[in-house]
Amino acid sequence: MTIFKYVPFVILSAIVAIYNIQKLHQKPSLTSAIVRLSFIAYAVSVFYLIFTPGTYSFGSDAVFQAIAIGYAKVVVVPYRDYGMQAMLNIIMTIPMGIYLYIFGHKDRPLLNEVLFIAVGIALFNEGGQFVLDQLIHINRTVDIMDVIHNALGVVIGFYLMTPFNFILKNEKKGLQKKKS
């Protein structure tokens, strides 16, 4: 049944919403509400794009060489297309980098920590698609370039926030836990 293919999306969205609403109740402020609620909207939107059935095409005419691993299609030759799809994958994860900066530690993480987290987020996105394709056949293509582009978007978003550090210093106290 098609309805069951949406269950992972609903579960992930509910987890993010419940967690952030609980955090908002712990330290209520206007800034915290804006950040937490916008993060919920962002996460639900991204989860819908990547963890629900369907295929999306953004005008790319490139032909990809893919192999089938179980039910998943996996693109085996990287960088066959530098077009709109690549840019949209980067743009999709720039906000995640911004939220990483806002929710991050009191001191800005080092580059290697940011890269590690960015790759983890990207692997979660593509790995989740792969696993869901195996379990409930969401008809997605897994691509190593999507991992690279998603990670790049997170890193770009994180470092785009650097000039705003002086503004966020006071607001961060309401958005994150202190380091132990």
Residue 52 lies in a domain: yes
67 — pLDDT class (breaks 50, 70, 90): confident
Counting the structural domains of the chain, the total is: 1
Residue 39 lies in a domain: yes
* 81-140: pLDDT as tens digits: 667 888 999 999 999 999 999 888 566 778 889 999 999 999 999 999 999 989 998 888
Residue from 81, 106, 80, 104 nearest 154 by CA: 104
Domain that holds residue 16: 2-175
Residue written as tokens 């607001």?
A: 171
Residue 180 lies in a domain: no
Q: Taking all residues of the chain, what is their mean pLDDT, rounded to a whole number?
A: 84
For the whole model, what pTM was predicted?
0.83
